[in-house]
Amino acid sequence: MEQRSFGRSGVKVSPLCLGTMQFGWTADEKASFEVLDAAYDAGINFIDTADIYSRWIDGNPGGVAESIIGKWLRKNPEKRTQIILATKVRGRMGEGPNDEGLSRKHIFSAVEQSLKRLGTDYIDLYQVHWPDESTPIEETLRALDDLIRDGRVLYIGCSNYPAWRLMESLWTSDRCRLTSFISLQPHYNLVHRDEFERELEDICLNYDIGVIPYSPLAGGFLTGKYAGDQAPPEGSRGAMSDRIQAYLIDPHSLSTLEIVKQIALERKKSPSQVALRWLISRPAIVSVIIGPRDLDQLEDNLGCLSVELADEDMRRLDEGSAW
């Protein structure tokens, strides 16, 4: 698989990154191992997770996706050095006042817990999951810089950051001589373009921040499987997500999906492959984070790499989905 330079760093990553939010949620351990094995064999060398995955399930303390990856790495120790392993910190992982956030206190305890669950002594990319307005950015960046200096973390990135916060972070790193974020993980897909494209895209292009978008299929909406008058099947993301249900009654999202489906028909590919290919081809994008729950979905998602979109296809997608 092609390898791409990751932002301002020297590290190389595949254009698809395996997301793991579904591990321990819609994919059990067996299915997760199958997906991990097959993704690795196909050439994906980049895995994204977070400490909180899958804490939203009733009674679940979180950390399940990290634990599954840790178990898989213990079975396959030779793969550890080949993989760029990314996780995140910020979300609530306990009931105490310091069991969440981006304080030095929480970051130092969260990284230890993540390392334990992942069964490794370093994290390749440690990302702040979303901003913490109650902690000065300098405190967060200094804590992350210390983790890099002592070798527990190799690179740092941010997720769900608005433009002003990303710029403030880059300036603070410069001013205080601290390590800078090399990546941004935004919510970005054909039916959710404006949040990233309005300002973040230009910052990332001008400051060489590697962009790794999440929810590239809008949680499954862009597969086309929910379109129609049937309610989303029980257990699917569509049945659990208000956002997907909103797409299903939004005329602009539905007309965008129609263009995706039409191009897929013409190219003899699936709608998800067309949607993923569009995203991989956008400026600033280094690697797109997919979230397959099983081998069939992974195989379909991987097929995006062989889609060839003509300039005219890109124009139809760009203009049809414009915000």
Ligand X SMILES: NC(=O)c1ccc[n+]([C@@H]2O[C@H](COP(=O)([O-])OP(=O)(O)OC[C@H]3O[C@@H](n4cnc5c(N)ncnc54)[C@H](OP(=O)(O)O)[C@@H]3O)[C@@H](O)[C@H]2O)c1
Residues that bind ligand X (CB under 6 A): 19-22, 26, 48, 129, 159-160, 185, 214-220, 223, 225, 236-237, 272, 289-293, 297, 300-301
Nearest to ligand X of 146, 243 (CB atom)? 243
Eight-class DSSP state of 200: I
Distance of alpha carbon 264 from alpha carbon 275, whole angstroms: 9
Nearest to ligand X of 179, 236 (CB atom)? 236
Q: Which residues are catalytic?
A: 53
Nearest to ligand X of 48, 313 (CB atom)? 48
Nearest to ligand X of 146, 236 (CB atom)? 236
Q: Which residue has the tokens 């990290």?
A: 66
Least distance (Å) between residue 23 CB and ligand X: 8
Least distance (Å) between residue 177 CB and ligand X: 28
Nearest to ligand X of 57, 176 (CB atom)? 57
Nearest to ligand X of 152, 269 (CB atom)? 269
The angle subtended at Cα 162 by Cα 211 and Cα 18, nearest 5°, is 30
Q: Which residues lie across from 127 on neighbouring strands? A: 88, 157
- Residue pair 113/93 in contact by the 8 Å Cβ criterion: yes
- Residue pair 161/207 in contact by the 8 Å Cβ criterion: no
Distance of alpha carbon 37 from alpha carbon 14, whole angstroms: 15
Least distance (Å) between residue 3 CB and ligand X: 20
Distance of alpha carbon 281 from alpha carbon 147, whole angstroms: 33
The DSSP code sequence of 79-145 is GGGG-EEEEEE-S--SSSTTSSSSSHHHHHHHHHHHHHHHT-S-EEEEEE-S--TTS-HHHHHHHHH
Least distance (Å) between residue 42 CB and ligand X: 15
Least distance (Å) between residue 28 CB and ligand X: 13
Among residues 3, 14, 11, 27, which one has the least CA distance to residue 237?
27
Least distance (Å) between residue 237 CB and ligand X: 4
Q: Which residue has the tokens 């067996």?
A: 30
In order of 130, 143, 215, 216, the CA distances from 163 in angstroms are 13, 22, 19, 20
